[in-house]
Chain A
Amino acid sequence: MTSTVRTYLGRLLPQLIALAIIIAAISIIFPGFLNLQIQNGRLYGSLIDILNRGAPVVLLAIGMTVVIATKGIDLSVGAVMAICGAVSASLITSGHSLAETLLVTLAVGVLCGVWNGILVAVLDIQPIIATLVLMVAGRGIAQLITEGAILTFNDPGLIFIGSGSFLGLPMPVVIWLVFGILVALVVRQTALGMLVEAVGVNREASTLSGVFTPVLLIAAYVLSGLCAAIAGVIAAADIKGADANNAGLWLELDAILAVVVGGTSLLGGRFSIAASVLGAIIIQAINTGILLSGFPPEFNLIIKAAIIVFILVLQSPRFRAVFTFVSMPRAAGRPTEREAK
C-alpha cells in the first residue's frame, strides 16, 4: 500500500513542485496571498479563488485526459460549454424546474459527446478534425439559443451552483472534487483505464485482442462532453447569465495545456487524471498570481507563456537526462555498465 502511494506521489512530484514554486513566488510578490479567513460561512482568500476560478478548466481537463489517452483530442469542449450554458439559462428562464434544467443540460453535453465519438470511432475521422466541426458550429448553436444576447436568470438554485458554498468550500470546487474522484475511481478501480490506455497505444491491436474500441472511444468523448456540460453550467451560474460569445472561449486550449502540464502524452497511452487536475490548478495559479501582482495587462500572456515553457522544459526527458548527467557524482573509478557486467 505504501509503495502504491509512493509511486502515485512520484508520478505527481513534478507538478507538485511546480505548483509549490509558483505559490511561493506569488506569496513573495503579494504577501497576503496565503491568508484564509471565514466570511459569510465560507472560506475566503486567494487560494480558494484559484480552486474556484480553476473549476471549468479542471473539469474540462478531466474529460480531456481520457480523450487524449485514447490518442484523441476534443477541441469542441469550449463550444459545448457555451451550448450547455445557453441551454440551462434558456430552460430555467422559460420556467422549468432546476432538476429538469440540469438533466436536459447534461443530456445535451452527452449528446455532443456522442456526436464527436461517432465521427471519430465509427466514421474514423481524425479527432482534431471531427471535434473541430462542433468547435466551430457549437458557438453558433449557442448564439441561436440565446439569440445573441446574454441570457440572464435569477433562479437561486441554479445560481447556487456557481456561487453557493458547501462545508465552507465554493460549490464549483465541491463539484470538481467529487466528480474528479468519481471519474478517477471508475477508471482506476476497474479495467476501464487500462483499456483506454490500450486503445491509445494501439487501437488495432486492442481491437484484435477483444476490446470493443468504438464503444470505448465514444464513451471517452461522452465523458468529455459531460465534463464540458458541467463546466458550462458552472460558468453560466457564476455570472447568472449565459454568454454564448465568451463562455468557454479558448478554454479547450487551456484544458489541453493542463493535460500536457500534467505530463500526459498527446500521443495517447498512460494518463493521470490527478496530474491533469494539478495542471489545471497550476494554470489558474499563474492567472491569479498575474492578476494579484499588479503588472500592466500587456504582460499577462508573456508571463504566463514564460512560466509554462519553464515547467515543460523541467518535465522534458532530455532536460532531465542532462540534469542527471550534470549532477551525477563524478566518482573516479566508478565502474561503467560494461565493466560491471
Chain B
Amino acid sequence: MKFVKALASATILAACTFGSASAADLVVGFSQIGSESGWRAAETTLTKQQAEQRGIDLKFADAQQKQENQIKAIRSFIAQGVNAILLAPVVATGWDEVLQEAKDAEIPVILLDRTVDAPKELYLTAVTSDLVHEGNVAGKWLVDTVAGKSCNVVELQGTTGSSPAIDRKKGFEAALAGKDNLKIVRSQTGDFTRTKGKEVMESFLKAEDGGKNICALYAHNDDMAVGAIQAIKEAGLKPGKDILVVSIDAVPDIFQAMAAGEANATVELTPNMAGPAFDVLATYLKDGKEPAKWIQTESKLYTQADDPMKVYEEKKGLGY
C-alpha cells in the first residue's frame, strides 16, 4: 500500500515536472523596477511580448523604484508557486534573504539588465549588457570612420559617478587608445538628459572656436545627443556632417535624427533582455543544465545605412 502511494505520488510529481517543462503552461513572475525611463517602459513591453510569443503566463509586478516592493513581489511569486522569476533589481544589495527563499522553493531567479551583490548560487543567471563594450563599439566606429584623419572629440558624459557613465567612458577611451589622430578635447556631464546635453554642447561650441575645432561628438546616451544636435544646429553648423554624432542606447528619436542625416551612429542597449532569459530558462527546465552566470546581450551598431526610418517605426510602439 505504502509502495503504491509512493509510486502514485511519484507519477504525479513526474507529470508535474514534465508539464512545467513545456513552455506552454509556464508561469513566470517578473518584478520590474518601475517606469523611470523610456527604455524601462520598452523593456516591460518587450518582456510581455516575448512571454506572449512563447505562451508563457507572465505575472508582472511594478515596484515603483522600491526594493521592499520587489521583495514583496518575489515572496508573492514564491507563494503562488511560479516556475521562474525574472528580477530587474533596483539596487545591488540586500537580496540574499529573499533569493535564498526562492532557492529553497526551487524557483530559479534570472536577473535582468542589472546584477546584484549576492552569492552566485542564489540566482540562475544574469542577462545584462556590457557597458564597457558599448563604449568600445562606439569608439571603434569613430576610429574607422575618421580613418586616420586628425579629429577632436567632445564627450557628453552620463550622470557623474553612475556606472553607465564610468563604463561607457572607459570603453570609448580604450577604443581610442593609441590612435594619435583622435583626441578627446572636452568632456563634461550632461546628466543623461536632453536639456543638459543641449546646454553643455552650447558651451563646448563656444569654448572650441564656435565648433570649428570639433570634429565629433560622443554622447553616453541618445537623449543627450538629441539635445546636442539642436545646439549644433542653432550654432549654424550641420550635425552629422560638420560634427559627427555617435551615441549609445538606440532610442527611437535618434533614428529620426539619423534619417535626417543629423546623427551618424548609435549602439543599441537592447530592451529585449527577456528573450535570452526565456531561452536559457526553457533549456534549464528541460535538461536541468545550468547556464553560464552571465549572458551578455548584443551591442548592435546602427548607422545611417541601416534604414533608420524603418527601425524608428519598429521601435516607436515599444513605449520608449
Contact = CB atoms under 8 A, between A and B. Distances in A.
Contacts of A294: 186, 207
B194 A149 contact: no
A137 B1 CA distance: 64
Contact of A239 (B198, B203, B204, B320): B198
20 contacts: A30-B207, A32-B207, A46-B203, A49-B199, A49-B203, A53-B199, A147-B41, A148-B319, A149-B38, A150-B38, A150-B253, A239-B195, A240-B230, A243-B194, A245-B36, A246-B195, A291-B199, A292-B207, A297-B187, A298-B160
Contacts of B319: 147-149
Interface string A76-89: 00000000000000
A243 B193 contact: yes
B188 interface: yes
Name B's interface SS.
helix
A265 interface: no
A235 B195 contact: yes
Contacts of A27: none
A292 B203 CA distance: 6
Interface in B190-209: 191, 193-195, 198-200, 202-204, 206-207
Interface residues of B, number: 35
B100 interface: no
Interface in A34-93: 39-40, 44-46, 49, 53
A46 to B, nearest CB: 5
Interface centre among A49, A150, A291 (most CB of B within 10 A): A291
A46 B200 CA distance: 12
A269 B228 CA distance: 42
Contacts of A148: 35-38, 40-41, 319
Interface string B159-171: 0110000000000
A238 B70 CA distance: 37
Contacts of B191: 246
A321 B135 CA distance: 55
Interface centre among A150, A288, A298 (most CB of B within 10 A): A150
Interface in A195-215: none
A288 B193 CA distance: 17
Contacts of A30: 207
A315 interface: no
Contact of A150 (B189, B198, B223): B223
Contacts of A245: 36-37
Given A238-B198, A294-B207, A298-B160, A149 B186 contact: no
A88 to B, nearest CB: 15
Nearest to A163: B234
B263 interface: no
Contact of A300 (B40, B189, B199, B320): B189
A39 B237 CA distance: 11
Contact of B202 (A32, A49, A246, A300): A49
B227 interface: yes
A239 B226 contact: yes
